[in-house]
Structure 1
Amino acid sequence: QLSNLVAFIRLNLFVKIDLQKWLDEPFDQPKPKPIIAIQGVLF
């Protein structure tokens, strides 16, 4: 089982991501939506 995991890691698991960043935060956090001001200038 462990050899399968090691083989999978060697087969491009971390090609497109930074390994240290992924180890720090393995799950993506949703980005906050920008606040859109609907009310215009009053004066």
Structure 2
Amino acid sequence: MEKPGNKKSPNISVGAFVLEAGIEPARPKTLDFESSEFNIKFT
């Protein structure tokens, strides 16, 4: 056995980190951009 838990943990951690890092900055950016567009359109 080659410690599958040891190999899985970093994989999941990296995947979750990438997902969080990719979604978190993209979310506020998209919301901000949409908000700005809506503000400009409504104003």
TM tier relative to shorter chain: under 0.3
Which structure has the highest helix share of the two? Answer: 2
TM-score (norm 2): 0.26
Q: Which has the larger radius of gyration?
A: 1
TM-score (norm 1): 0.26
